[in-house]
Structure 1
Amino acid sequence: MPGPLQRLNDLVTTGRLEPDPAQIVVARALDELSRRLERWRPGNNLLTRLRANGTAAPAGLYIHGGIGGGKTMLMDLFFEGVRFSPRRRLHFHEFMAEVHDLIAAARAAVDGDPIPSVARRIAREARLLCFDELHVTDIADAMILGRLFKGMFESQVVVVCTSNVPPSELYRNGLNRQLFLPFLDLIGERMTVLELAAAKDFRLAKLAGRDLYFTPLGATADYRIREVFERLTGQAKGAALELPVRSRKLLIPEAAMGVARFHFSDLCEKPLGAADYLHIAHAFHTVLIEGVPRLTPARRNEARRLINLVDTLYDNRVCLVVSADAEPHELYPTGDGARLFERTASRLIEMRSAAYLASRLDRLPPSAGPLATGAVMPAAGARTARR
């Protein structure tokens, strides 16, 4: 299969993309990494890796830049074409949710620090890891990343990732950030950092608005959300369900036919995290969220959860329908994480586009939805009526 540079040129030649010199620079770097991976023969044990004639793992890539510049597209072109295995491509939130599950299991099986054994297990499953949207806001993630990536690199895992910010901006002003700095040193030592300085947000340039985002809040928005739910499910009301998440039960206030309906407070005012949002994304092909307010700096926790939620739904190509107090770029203009929220606003707009909906349809299985898979259970005594 052609490398990412050739595939990018083909997309430009056929008119599907506009030419951009910054994308070409990154595509060339991905091309070179692809060739190195195809020549590389990783060692299977520590002795092999320490031999003088052993082959060192190629340096990974950390690709950062503004929203909509094509970072994810280029990484996907690389991942789809590289002749190297085992490999995995996933969202960084999803990866960290898996890591925390593995750490919990390892603690029950080994004495001492479980992270080295978790890193070795990750290496057995994938020698090439591609992460989309690496950003760190959770202190639990920040405190383990240095040790985790050190173990992964020692086990010859090659990492390619995208991020909106350069490494120096990761977890900026975070609690105990000095303990996070060794992770940044590892990035500098084991990865090549590239900036994708695209001329414009290509995602926004090609958007076509759809009736999937209703503003301002009020009777009209309430009616439109209800109308969408009825049109998708063929019924006026769904049932409350409980979704198993680890050892807990996550309440889904209303669901039917693979469609889930929430209020903003259900998802962002409660202490939910990446694992909860991933289970929702895997259980439902469409999510409706009502009552998204304008967020002030004092509501930074709700803003952070909304960022994580939208990232997870976007990466899993879930259809999102929203009623909100303002347009996406006006929901959280100032406060801790407001810069990161710019990407969330861009994605909220993109998720209304015909192109996004088309990509979502490609992923829908027959009889999609939680009731078809047995993934959820009716909530005991839960009211099915909305508030």
Structure 2
Amino acid sequence: MATVMQDLYADRVARGSIDPDPAQEAVLPEFERIFEALERPPKRGLFRRAPEPPRGLYLWGGVGRGKSMLMDIFAGALTVPARRVHFHAFMQEVHQGMTEARARGVDDAVKPVAKAISDEVRCLAFDEMQITDITDAMIVGRLFEQLFGAGVVVVATSNRPPDDLYKDGLNRALFLPFIDLLKERMVVWELSGATDHRQNRMAGSPVYFTPADAEARARIAAIWEGLTGGETAPLTLRVKGRDVILPEFHNGVARARFFDLCGQPLGPADYLAIAETVRVLVLEDIPRLSRSNFNEAKRFVTLIDALYEAKVRLIASAAAEPESLYVEGEGSFEFARTASRLREMMSHGWGRAEG
């Protein structure tokens, strides 16, 4: 007998919005298990205890396997109070809540934050769970313990298995109980299909457009719509006390203009944070580079280095081909390395467009 998740998945296949994938179909019963438990009406009776919440789901896997798409189907079908949120944005909200609690004189700032969340939702659906910051690492264990204790069900996607979270991080031994907690309260499932669906959506499509004119904007807009479905919101990354804003973001795909990222006083740590957070970056309106915008050019080089090393997929519009972007002025000779990297990043199959 078909289930809600199977029906919704089959409908997307029938409409041609996704291709059938056995690995995706295999995990649907796990989503259905959680969906049925959350949506089941409570039994009435004065002395009836609330049912135990179901174990959540930790869905991890590699490039473009459809993790976020499956989460879309699941979260969109829920009628109980639930929240779908990128994990990095969620942790920023947690830090803000804790700061406000401390300002009120609260000793244990995690407790009111966890209570506020559990009072609001029965299910948290996280995109791209990752822990790279020691502050987050020291908070999440206590936070999630209280969320689980309050009956909140967590469903999360990630690019890595639980045992690799905060890998090689400072004081990682203090983080290990959190990994054990995840394994206890969530089913860990690897989505290991052979098909990279996101790369397939980009297959055969140019990823570098010049000149940066109306035609380039229209073609990038079409790619953006295909990758995100038009569902985007700004994402703020907190880096060493500064806010780094990605104007548009959805499921690991970000969109910004050259000035947003290179016209601001950002540095290597900011670009590393961006590279750790996004899997595809759409960067528009890259100008010609010269003495007149030397600082912006230096930042652009640093940004491209960070994206290249992290294997982030780049889609860009620019005033000229990579080799002709920076042809005069201080730094033009060194830019040859950046141009070479840009050319390599334009090749089909380059990068790790996760999702």
> Is TM (by shorter chain) over 0.5?
yes
**Is the CA contact (8 Å cut-off) linking 1:63 and 1:195 kept in structure 2?**
yes
User: Identity across aligned pairs (percent)?
Assistant: 38
- Specify the code of the residue in structure 1 equivalent to 2:308: Y
User: Is 1:69 aligned with 2:65?
Assistant: yes
- Does residue 114 (structure 1) correspond to residue 83 (structure 2)? The answer is no
Cα 1:142–1:300 shift into 2, 3 Å: farther
Match among 248, 257, 260 for residue 288 of structure 1: 257
User: Does 2:74 match 1:78?
Assistant: yes
**Number of equivalent positions:** 277
Partner of 2:129: 134
Q: Deviations over 1:254-283 (max 9, x none)?
A: xxxxxx9xxxxxx99x8466x5326x449x
Label 1:139 to 1:41 Cα distance change in 2 as closer, same or farther (>3 A).
Answer: farther
Q: Say whether the 8 Å CA contact 2:58–2:157 is kept in structure 1.
A: yes
Does residue 30 of structure 2 align to residue 54 of structure 1? no
Amino acid at match of 2:31: L
Counterpart of 1:321 (choices 277, 280, 284) is 284
Answer whether contact 2:271 2:303 (CA < 8 A) is retained.
no
Corresponding position: 1:152 with 2:147? yes
- Specify the code of the residue in structure 2 equivalent to 1:63: L
Q: What SS does structure 1 have at the residue aligned with 2:132?
A: coil
Equivalent of 2:162, from 159, 167, 173? 167
Q: What are the equivalent positions in structure 2 for 1:207-356 lying under 5 Å apart?
A: 207=202, 213=208, 224=211, 227=213, 271=240, 275-277=243-245, 280-281=247-248, 287-289=256-258, 301=269, 304-308=272-276, 310=278, 320-321=283-284, 323=286, 331-333=307-309, 341-342=310-311, 344-345=312-313, 348-349=314-315
In 2, the alpha carbon distance for the partners of 1:136 and 1:42 equals: 39
User: In structure 2, how many angstroms separate the alpha carbons of the residues matched to 1:3 and 1:59?
Assistant: 19
Alignment RMSD? 4.1
**Residue 304 of structure 1, CA deviation:** 2.7
Deviation at 1:58, TM superposition (A): 1.1
Gaps of 5+ in 2: 219-233, 287-299, 318-355
Return the offset for 1:52: 8.3
Q: Distance in 2 between matches of 1:148 and 1:21?
A: 35
What is the DSSP-based 3-state SS (H/G/I as helix, E as strand, rest coil) of the residue aligned with 2:108? coil
CA distance in 2, matches of 1:9, 1:87: 23
Q: Which runs of 5+ in 1 are unaligned?
A: 215-220, 233-259, 261-266, 294-298, 334-340, 353-387
Partner of 2:188: 193
Q: Is the contact made by 2:275 and 2:307 (CA closer than 8 Å) also made in structure 1?
A: no
Cα distance, 1:99 vs. partner? 0.5
Distance 2:276 2:306 in 1: 18
Matched, 1:180 2:175: yes
2:93 aligned to 98, 107, 113, which one?
98
Residue 205 to residue 304, structure 1, CA distance change in 2 (3 Å): same
1:56 deviates by 0.9
Cα offsets for 1:156-213 (capped at 9, x unmatched): 1111110000000000000111111121111011111111001121110121566764
Alpha-carbon separation, structure 2, partners of 1:141 and 1:310: 18
State whether residues 277 and 309 of structure 1, in contact with CA within 8 Å, keep that contact through their aligned partners in structure 2: no
1:172 counterpart SS class:
coil
Deviations 1:206-247 (Å, cap 9, x if unpaired)? 215667646xxxxxx7xx45x579989xxxxxxxxxxxxxxx
Give the corresponding residue for 1:240: none
Aligned-partner Cα distance in 1 for 2:106–2:43:
29
Instruction: Give 3-state SS (helix, strand or coil) of 2:76's partner.
Output: helix
CA distance in 2, matches of 1:165, 1:130: 17
- Deviation, structure 1 residue 290: 6.8
1:10 paired residue number? 11
Partner Cα distance (2:50, 2:179) in 1: 26
**1:174 partner letter:** G
Is the partner of 1:111 in helix, strand or coil? coil
- Secondary structure of the 1:321 match is strand
Separation in structure 2 between the aligned mates of residue 111 and residue 331 of structure 1, nearest angstrom = 40
SS at match of 2:258: strand
Shift of the 191–230 alpha-carbon distance from structure 1 to 2, 3 Å rule, reads: closer
* TM-aligned CA distance change 1:106 to 1:209, over 3 Å: farther
How many Å separate the matches in 1 of 2:27 and 2:153? Answer: 17
> For the Cα contact (< 8 Å) 1:292–1:325, is it kept in 2?
no
Structure 2 letter corresponding to 1:38: E
| TM-score normalised per structure 1 | 0.61
Q: Which residue of 2 aligns with 1:235?
A: none
- Cα pair 1:40 1:55 within 8 Å, conserved: no
Q: Which amino acid counterpart does residue 277 of structure 1 have in structure 2?
A: I
